[in-house]
Structure 1
Amino acid sequence: MAAKVVSVGRDAGHAFSKPIGDSIRLLTGLGVEGDAHCGITVKHRSRVAVDPSQPNLRQVHLIHAELFDELKLAGFDLAPGDLGENVTTLGIDLLALPAGARLQLGDKASIEITGLRNPCAQIEAFRPGLLSAVLGRDTEGRLVRKSGVMAIVLAGGEIRPGDAIGLTLPDLPHHALERV
């Protein structure tokens, strides 16, 4: 199955969930036009409180639709946008990508994966028990964060549900994603 965009969303406020729409526009070096997290420097409130001059490595939040299927089996009925993502994907293992992987979204937009979203207490406040459901352990007992990946915008453009997703891996050696 070819990887594709399932849904897109943005929100000008700092609400936990994002309403989905027909399209979003990515702005080079900034993020999603009209989204609260758009900008050169950090916009996530917890990070702004620490150092508002940090570069924004969290311009675009992506979640794989397969996570919603997994969470449904655990008793959580969630839809795209509920976990605050800008882009919901299908057919690409976002969590297995190395740092620096590039995704082509639609005809023009290009993003670079910077790291993992670190699930926080807001997820637990949204749905009790959800925080532990988006955390797991691998075979060596290491923590696995399943609540998506973050990216920066390399080339802007409009993206819509149904758009194809292309993948370009960085040169070797690959580095596993860490939380950003």
Structure 2
Amino acid sequence: MPSVVSVARCQTHEFSKTVVERIEIVENLGVEGDAHAGVTVKHRSRVAVDPSQPNLRQVHLIQRELFDELAVSGFELKAGDLGENILTEGIALLDLPTDTILKVGPNVSLQVTGLRNPCAQIENFRAGLLGKVVYKDEAGDLVRRAGIMTIVLAGGSVEPGDVIETVLPPLPHRALVRV
């Protein structure tokens, strides 16, 4: 059953986030006490371009299975290291279509907006890691594996062990693109 492994937040714009026992997710804003919470974009490079853009990156999720894959290549990562708010297991986040609803625990509903676009901060965090989370496949298509971004439709508490239910949007499905 898909579930939450860990939750994390950080009040400042640090690369990694601090793992906590529980996070409070606020409707239309994001994770309470997290630097990326807000109605408008909070990612620094996007703020520099246009601070009035809607925040499509309120809550960041990564699947724990990615950490297992990266460990095979020598990258030992722990929860919060890649800046995720929610670390999941048992759900192929990167395969979800845009606008999928993730019901997390008893109250929270998140709408998938797209893929996290990995940046140079990942390379600064661990040399060689960027090339493992973003690369071109055999067909020459760019593959991004650093998690998904969501907006908050309904808030509440999220903690490790919470079950995640997936509600797919109506057909036709739209593949995830970077946001």
TM-score by length of 2: 0.98
User: Which residue number in structure 2 is paired with residue 23 of structure 1?
Assistant: 22
Matches within 5 A, 1:1-180: 2-180=1-179
Name the CA distance, whole Å, in 1 between partners of 2:93 and 2:157. Answer: 21
Name the CA distance, whole Å, in 2 between partners of 1:25 and 1:49. Answer: 28
Name the CA distance, whole Å, in 1 between partners of 2:145 and 2:72. Answer: 15
* Amino acid in the other structure paired with 1:75: G
* Amino acid in the other structure paired with 1:94: L
Which segment is superposed worse, 27-36 or 132-141? 132-141
The percentage of counterpart residues that share the same residue type is 61
Name the CA distance, whole Å, in 2 between partners of 1:69 and 1:137. Answer: 21
How far off its partner does 1:138 sit?
3.8
Q: Deviations over 1:64-110 (max 9, x none)?
A: 00000000001100011000000000000000000000000000000
Name the CA distance, whole Å, in 1 between partners of 2:124 and 2:42. Answer: 21
Name structure 2 gaps, 5 residues minimum: none
* Amino acid in the other structure paired with 1:172: L
Give the alignment's Cα RMSD to 1 decimal: 0.7
2:41 alignment partner, SS class = coil
Q: Deviations over 1:98-132 (max 9, x none)?
A: 00000000000000000000000000000000000
Name the CA distance, whole Å, in 2 between partners of 1:62 and 1:134. Answer: 14
Aligned residue pairs, count: 179
Name the CA distance, whole Å, in 1 between partners of 2:17 and 2:96. Answer: 24
Q: Deviations over 1:20-73 (max 9, x none)?
A: 010001100000000000100000000000000000000000000000000000
Name structure 1 gaps, 5 residues minimum: none
How far off its partner does 1:135 sit?
1.6
Name the CA distance, whole Å, in 2 between partners of 1:161 and 1:137. Answer: 33
